[in-house]
């Protein structure tokens, strides 16, 4: 079994550290945030990811997983170092902020005195891996025997453990003919389970990640454009998605129309890809991503307009309950969340907005203290003039429309995820409005 380090303990790094310990490796995970490391050391994780808290405690108990803030400790106790720090969008630009990635390498490399592998997992602009490899060789006392491998991650929040232990593929980008045996050993369990392995060069490995996310984002905006067309002509976008999805060349997944994509990856990754392509003189080829982004953002204003129409032309002074704040279910992540964005906009227009979410309210309160929140969904729904269903948590689909109908002020719901059962909600006297389904909304 290998001695690993993981640099950065966000969604990616923490999940990777815990999962690698669970398959038998010895793992030390580093973060520069001392409070976070102290909490992790005590088995407390700062975000919601199904199954991860329990697995963290199990792996701490196994003695194979430890946390530190010491770069020297990491260099002394691992032979393979995974870079899992964030690459958020730069303020005032579409490009990625690479300071954490370069900062991590500048801290670690001077301490690498013996042969080792540095493995990049963060999502980066193409060309970064080569710069990092050069930097490592120039800074590390181990010189040429400190190799860089590029190994993009594809984990989805809510499925992070499964996606780490049983990914759809493992991609390893290497320089020249450097062998990847050490990484094959690290991922032996997944590879033996049949996970395909793609060994390639640095730029291809870097591009696999951004190409995958650009494709997924495009698929969502594609179906959302058709949702608007469906609204205009009285067609049903869900049936349309089902029908085209039967074609295995297209596939049904990522064709759910609604308020669009959010989160810490898809929005910033398509912007960073476009920024990098533009730098490389390919602005025209990647201009389509401007439309993908614009269609996605327009979903949010569309719901605000629908809410305004449903309330007779103004939301000011009206009680609106927003079901969901996380960018998707089974996550407490509110980064670039369509649901939260809509809630904040409506509050800005003078509505009395109450937000419910099963997991994300602590983040809502920290970021938007002026928004009302309630942990009890029925309390949040009481006296609402309008209900917006914006994150498709299972518990919202399990609400009894008759019970909810008895406590609201008006039985009007806009389903921004096209998931509520029309028959039962209509039968309970609700006016249900979807995005791209007939009989639910006046033409655009
Ligand atoms: C994504 C990629 O899926 C993952 O491979 C990558 O490594 C990180 O980014 P994640 O951000 O966790 O993962 O969420 P994902 O499940 O991809 O959903 C992204 C957004 O798209 C969510 O806001 C979701 O609600 C939305 N979505 C997804 C749709 O609007 N319609 C769909 O059909 C699918």
Ligand 1 atom nearest 217 alpha carbon: 21
Query: Does position 197 have pLDDT exceeding 60, yes or no?
Result: yes
Cβ proximity of 16 and 38 under 8 Å: no
Cα(45)–Cα(440) distance, rounded to whole angstroms? Answer: 42
Q: What is the pLDDT of residue 441?
A: 45
Radius of gyration of the chain (CA): 24
Per-residue pLDDT tens digits for 15-62: 999 999 999 999 999 999 999 999 999 999 999 999 999 999 999 999
Question: Does the beta carbon of 263 lie inside 6 Å of ligand 1?
Answer: yes
Whether residue 177 is predicted with pLDDT greater than 80 in this model: the reply is: no
pLDDT digits (tens, 9 = 90+) for 375-425: 999 999 999 999 999 999 999 999 999 999 999 999 999 999 999 999 999
For ligand 1, is residue 393 a contact (CB within 6 Å)? no
Torsion, Cα of 310, 315, 318, 321 (10° steps)? 70
19 catalytically annotated: no
- Judge whether 119 and 101 are in contact, CB under 8 Å: no
362: Cβ contacts below 8 Å, ≥ 6 apart: 332
Distance in Å, CA 292 to ligand 1 centroid: 14
Helices and strands, counts by H and E, the chain: 19, 14
Which residue has a Cα nearest atom 20 of ligand 1? 261
> Which residue's entry shows tokens 């809510």?
158
Label the pairing between strands 431-434 and 116-120: unpaired
The pLDDT, as a whole number, for residue 396 is: 98
pLDDT of residue 45: 95
**Cα 409 to ligand 1 centre (Å):** 34
Closest Cα partner for 260 from 316, 290, 301? 301
**Cross-strand partners of 323:** 356, 389
* Contact criterion met (CB below 8 Å) for 58 and 95: no
Using alpha carbons only, what angle is made at residue 382 by residues 335 and 355, rounded to the nearest 5 degrees? 10
In 174-325, where does DSSP find H-type helix? Answer: 181-186, 188-192, 202-233, 237-245, 266-279, 288-310
Q: What is the model's pTM? A: 0.95
pLDDT at 304 over 60: yes
Q: What is the mean pLDDT of the chain?
A: 96
Sign of CA dihedral 302, 304, 306, 312: negative
Q: Is 49 helix (H, G, I), strand (E, B) or coil?
A: coil
In CATH terms, are 3-199 and 201-444 the same topology?
yes
Phi, psi dihedrals of residue 287, rounded to the nearest 5°: -65, -25
**pLDDT at 440 (0 to 100):** 53
Phi/psi-derived region of residue 219, left when phi > 0, alpha when psi is between -120 and 50, beta in every other case: alpha
- Give residue 40 CA to ligand 1 midpoint distance, Å: 26
- The Cα–Cα gap between 333 and 337 comes to 8
Q: Residue whose CA is closest, atom 28 of ligand 1?
A: 254
* DSSP string covering 352-408: EEEEE-SS-HHHHHHH-TTSEE-SSHHHHHTT-SEEEE-S--HHHHTS-HHHHHHHS
Decide whether any atom of ligand 1 lies within 6 Å of the 47 Cβ: no
* Nearest ligand 1 atom to alpha carbon 158: 12
**Backbone torsion region of residue 187, taken as left when φ is above 0, otherwise alpha when ψ lies between -120 and 50, otherwise beta:** alpha
Print burial letters for 335-371: b (CB count within 10 Å at least 16), e (below 16): bbbbbbbbbbbbbebebbbbbbbbbbbbbbeeebeeb
Residue ranges of domains in the chain: 3-199, 201-444
Rounded Cα gap, residues 266 and 422, in angstroms? 30
User: Once rounded to an integer, what is the mean pLDDT over residues 89-107?
Assistant: 94
- List the one residue out of 138, 164, 192, 159 whose CA is nearest residue 4: 164
Q: Which whole number is the average pLDDT over 78-106?
A: 95
3-state helix, strand, coil in the chain (%, to 5): 45, 15, 40
Lowest-pLDDT range of 160-164, 178-182, 355-359: 178-182
Fold annotation for 3-199: Rossmann fold (3.40.50)
Q: What is the pLDDT, as a whole number, of residue 438? A: 84
CB 75 within 8 Å of CB 113: yes
pLDDT tops 80 at residue 444? no
- How many percent of the chain have pLDDT more than 70? 99
| The CATH homologous superfamily of the domain defined by 201-444 | NAD(P)-binding Rossmann-like Domain (3.40.50.720)
């Amino acid at each position: 079994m290998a001695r690993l380090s993981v640099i950065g303990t966000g969604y990616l790094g923490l999940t990777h550290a815990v999962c690698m310990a669970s398959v038998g490796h010895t793992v030390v995970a580093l973060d520069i945030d001392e409070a976070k490391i102290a909490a992790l050391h005590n088995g407390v994780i700062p975000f919601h990811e199904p199954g991860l808290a329990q697995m963290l405690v199990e792996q701490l108990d196994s003695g194979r997983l430890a946390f530190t803030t010491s770069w020297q400790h990491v260099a002394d106790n691992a032979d393979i170092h995974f870079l899992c720090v964030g690459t958020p969008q730069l303020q005032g630009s579409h490009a990625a902020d690479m300071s954490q990635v370069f900062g991590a390498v500048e801290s670690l490399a001077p301490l690498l005195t013996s042969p080792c592998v540095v493995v990049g997992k963060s999502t980066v602009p193409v060309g970064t891996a080569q710069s990092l490899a050069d930097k490592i060789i120039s800074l590390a006392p181990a010189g040429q025997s400190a190799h860089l491998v590029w190994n993009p991650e594809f984990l989805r929040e809510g499925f992070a453990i499964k996606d780490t232990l049983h990914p759809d593929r493992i991609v390893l980008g290497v320089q020249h003919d450097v062998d990847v045996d050490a990484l094959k050993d690290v991922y032996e369990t997944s590879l033996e389970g049949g996970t395909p392995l793609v060994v390639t060069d640095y730029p291809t490995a870097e591009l696999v990640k951004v190409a995958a996310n650009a494709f997924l984002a495009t698929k969502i905006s594609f179906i959302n454009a058709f949702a608007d067309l469906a609204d205009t002509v009285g067609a049903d976008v869900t049936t349309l998605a089902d029908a085209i999805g039967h074609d295995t060349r297209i596939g049904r997944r990522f064709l759910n129309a609604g308020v669009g994509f959010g989160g810490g990856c898809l929005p910033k990754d398509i912007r960073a890809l476009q920024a990098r392509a533009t730098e490389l003189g390919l602005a025209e080829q990647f201009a389509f991503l401007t439309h993908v982004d614009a269609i996605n953002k327009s979903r949010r204003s569309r719901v605000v307009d629908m809410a305004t129409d449903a309330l007779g032309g103004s939301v000011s002074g009206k009680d609106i309950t927003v079901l969901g704040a996380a960018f998707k279910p089974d996550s407490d992540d509110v980064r670039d969340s369509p649901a939260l964005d809509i809630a904040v906009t409506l509050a800005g227009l003078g509505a009395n907005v109450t937000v419910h979410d099963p997991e994300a309210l602590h983040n809502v309160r920290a970021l938007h203290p002026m928004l009302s929140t309630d942990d009890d969904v029925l309390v949040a729904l009481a006296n609402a003039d309008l209900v917006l269903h914006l994150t498709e948590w299972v518990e919202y689909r399990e609400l009894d429309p008759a019970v909810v109908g008895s406590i609201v002020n008006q039985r009007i719901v806009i389903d921004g995820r096209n998931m509520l059962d029309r028959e039962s909600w209509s039968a309970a006297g609700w006016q249900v409005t979807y995005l791209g389904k007939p009989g639910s909304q006046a033409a655009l």
